[in-house]
A and B are shown apart, each in its own frame.
Chain A
């Protein structure tokens, strides 16, 4: 009996440091943010915060800019998720079998993912810089097309950010697809080849169906990421022009940390939390349970 107690205590001692950190910086905040969303306060008025019930949420439902930020986030997702998934898949298929230079090509496509997002955003804001000074426009001009105000025209700004995040992200998806391809046994390909299947048939009838769990995983994690886009927009467009590139997290930042309406921003946090948890739930329920990130 005493031995069992000791076993337990030792195990708890091993778990204590990590779980203390989780409790203080994740578990308490996640419960607390729900309570904070029912109050009206800034960091200065924190101790005299007024309880306002669901008023923050009612305000959100009527906040045109917030609704705009959700629409923007969804629009961005429609560029980001298919762009990353399709390019990732295509280049994983192209770079799966050994050939000359394969490892270099894999590295070259992945490298942008290692560059810090701040640096990525600054590089691309130089490339997309206005009128005729940026390279992107130089290329358009040399193709006899009209230059575009990439980052200050509301029609193109979000597309420009989408291009940047596909640049930095599709190599990562490619690596995940390549890992998924490793799990398909070679015998299947050999058997199909013996039966006289063409390359196209093998790809569409064997590889892609067997890659479905990986594809599902890539799509859902990309969805979760795209709903949390912040840094590139903060640096490249600041959410503008107007509110045409303001996403949910950018709006959360503006309300919470530049206007210091922290109760209101907490309500935005809760909405974001619900969206992400719903996406994660779908992922866990439908997808493979043994895939972790």
Chain B
């Protein structure tokens, strides 16, 4: 019995460690390529032959080949700007709607709730063509607005906020109402602070989602100075860059911000996953 347990233990560690090697080694390989001198000869070792940081400025300035005013910094800024505004505004809009659906009684409440849920079933790709036409008609084509405005509300957010507002006892609201506070004040100063965990969860989800966007920017952005960094990277890839060190440095610049945000907010992400599961 004892020896059987010991065996299971070894097998378990072996499995887990080889899975970690599978997930982590490609990432380590990229980091190593980015800090190794770029000789044009592909290198495979996981230990750099020597260390240099010249790939980073080279990657940073690479976009100037196409447009002299654009660096990787421009694209990094676009991504940060879009993700920041989308996250802030959509959390505001989602929580307002979620608040009304959880706390107010009004005609058509059920229908609105059902509509919010139905948005989760609509595959984005299936509405891309009409969205593209609408974006052009609104004069948003080739602007950051096209990457922001359509995503300033999400059914998922409305649902999550509704659920968490539902779980707050009515006393707080009634006390504030008795004091004559108006509805927006109650929502903004009393109710929203009570669902901070949901806000934190939604921040992580929205930033990750917005940062990872690719299909939509590919459709509506052509100007290099308006590109989010992921689209920019894909474009450079299309130029058949043979300098892997430079490409790897660019990929790290595109990944590091989101990785840092995720590592800081892991807890909220995991909580959001299990929250969504419990409903």
A19 to B106, CA, bound (A): 15
- What 1/0 flags go to A81-117 for Cβ under 8 Å of B? 0000001001100110000000001011101101111
Contact indicator B126/A269 (Cβ below 8 Å) = yes
Q: How far is the CB of B19 from chain A (nearest CB, A)?
A: 6
Contact indicator B237/A256 (Cβ below 8 Å) = no
A58 lies within 8 A of chain B by Cβ: no
Contact indicator A265/B129 (Cβ below 8 Å) = yes
Contact indicator B42/A133 (Cβ below 8 Å) = yes
Within 8 A of A (CB), among B241-267: 244, 247, 251, 254-255, 258-259, 262, 266
Q: How far is the CB of A84 from chain B (nearest CB, A)?
A: 13
Q: How far is the CB of A273 from chain B (nearest CB, A)?
A: 4
A252 to B129, CA, bound (A): 10
A30 to B123, CA, bound (A): 10
A108 to B18, CA, bound (A): 11
Residue in A closest to B234 when the chains form the complex, CB atoms: A118
> Which of A63-71, A72-80, A149-157, A179-187 is near enough to bind chain B?
A179-187
Contact indicator B237/A122 (Cβ below 8 Å) = yes
- What 1/0 flags go to A9-39 for Cβ under 8 Å of B? 0111011011101101111111011001000
B142 lies within 8 A of chain A by Cβ: no
Contact indicator A272/B126 (Cβ below 8 Å) = yes
B interface: dominant SS: helix
A276 lies within 8 A of chain B by Cβ: yes
B176 lies within 8 A of chain A by Cβ: no
A8 to B134, CA, bound (A): 31
A44 to B256, CA, bound (A): 40
A interface: dominant SS: helix
Residue in A closest to B124 when the chains form the complex, CB atoms: A228
Interface size on B, residues (CB 8 A): 87
Contact indicator B230/A36 (Cβ below 8 Å) = no
B93 lies within 8 A of chain A by Cβ: yes
> Which of B55-63, B65-73, B166-174, B210-218 is near enough to bind chain A?
B210-218
Residues in A with CB closer than 8 Å to B128 are 252, 256, 269
B187 lies within 8 A of chain A by Cβ: yes
A185 to B169, CA, bound (A): 27
Q: Are A11 and B234 CB-contacts (below 8 A) given A21-B152, A105-B20, A269-B126?
A: no
* B-binding residues in A (CB < 8 A): 7-8, 10-12, 14-15, 17-19, 21-22, 24-30, 32-33, 36, 43, 46, 87, 90-91, 94-95, 105, 107-109, 111-112, 114-119, 122-127, 129, 133, 135, 138, 167, 171, 175-176, 179-180, 182-183, 199, 214, 217, 224, 227-228, 230-231, 234-235, 249, 252-253, 256-257, 262, 265-266, 269-270, 272-273, 276-277, 280, 290-293
Further 15 A-B residue pairs, CB within 8 A, beyond A117-B214, A228-B123: A7-B105, A14-B99, A28-B134, A30-B126, A90-B15, A109-B20, A118-B214, A119-B230, A123-B27, A179-B277, A224-B123, A252-B125, A256-B128, A272-B125, A290-B278
